[in-house]
Amino acid sequence: MTADVYQGATAESIRHHYDVSDDFFALWLDPDLTYTCALWDEGDTLESAQKRKLDHLIEGARAAGARRVLDVGCGWGSLLERLVRTHGVQRAVGLTLSDNQARHLRGLALERTEVRVENWLDHEPAEQYDAIISIGAFEHFARTGLSRAERVAAYRAFFERCRAWLPKGGRIALQTNVKGNNVRMDKQTVRDLQFIIDTIFPESEIPALSEVLESSEKRFDVVRLRNDPDHYSRTCQEWFDRLRAHRDQAVEVAGEKTVADYERYLSSTVGHFRNRHLGLSRIVLEAV
């Protein structure tokens, strides 16, 4: 794979983040280890809001009851489990770059599910899929510091692959953080975001919504789009509160520095979404 073809975060930098320790993430995520923005409604707990999000995207992609569904960036498998155990999907395939996540998922022994430690760029399915869902992985598909044109080219390569893997009319449900380009940042916000890039998510860069849409042109129609920054602010607050509540155990598992770094990352991110320096897009696209 050459850098000019694929310009996303490397497997090494992905592992830097997701392979900290499963026990560490289990202390502050929900029990299914969903590590992306939830979809909140009145009376929700983090657990119910995460399931609501999964169901929302499954419905958007028309994946319920489908024969074959691809999850690009499957994390610890909460979507795969929901697809096969609640929505009757016959075959669910999950891609991740994290060895820990794949090990955890294989331990769950989900029926009718295949887990692959594989970049989407290298994925060559034997058959097409009926639907594709990708939650919180797109943020890793372009490396920090690329020009807009280079980012769009990297994202376009992703949409080209997805188009080839779907029939006409097949859908992708995509959830991704996006830059909140409409509000000027103060210096502290710039410092906090730089800290997150340097320390928490090396090599990754969040797309602008316009880049996501531009790179999907000619291959996909936008069917639905919503922006839910307050939902991510609330999700991060919940994660932060849970991390704080288990701080001593977290330090035992991951060390004081990691815990302090995550406290800074999570607490500042609550503000980034609240202040609209970041947005949270949930997009349904249909293959043309």
Ligand X SMILES: C[S@@+](CC[C@H](N)C(=O)[O-])C[C@H]1O[C@@H](n2cnc3c(N)ncnc32)[C@H](O)[C@@H]1O
Which residues contact ligand X (rule: CB under 6 A)?
8, 14, 18, 34-36, 72-75, 78, 95-98, 101, 119-120, 135-137, 140
What tokens does 104 get?
Answer: 């955890």
Question: By C-beta, is 74 or 206 nearer to ligand X?
Answer: 74
- Tell whether the torsion through CA atoms of 122, 90, 285 and 52 is positive or negative: negative
Q: Which amino acid is at 229?
A: P
The angle that helices 46-60 and 229-245 make with each other, rounded to 10 degrees, is 140
- What is the Cβ-side half-sphere exposure of residue 286, based on CA atoms within 13 angstroms? 9
Question: By C-beta, is 203 or 286 nearer to ligand X?
Answer: 203
What tokens does 1 get?
Answer: 């794979």
CB 110 within 8 A of CB 85: yes
Question: By C-beta, is 140 or 163 nearer to ligand X?
Answer: 140
Least Cβ distance, residue 280 to ligand X (angstroms) = 12
Question: By C-beta, is 81 or 192 nearer to ligand X?
Answer: 81
Least Cβ distance, residue 187 to ligand X (angstroms) = 27
User: H or E segment at 225?
Assistant: strand 220-227
* 3-state SS assignment for residue 221: strand
Least Cβ distance, residue 16 to ligand X (angstroms) = 11
Question: Percent helix, strand and coil across the chain, each rounded to 5?
Answer: 45, 15, 35
Least Cβ distance, residue 119 to ligand X (angstroms) = 4
Least Cβ distance, residue 51 to ligand X (angstroms) = 12
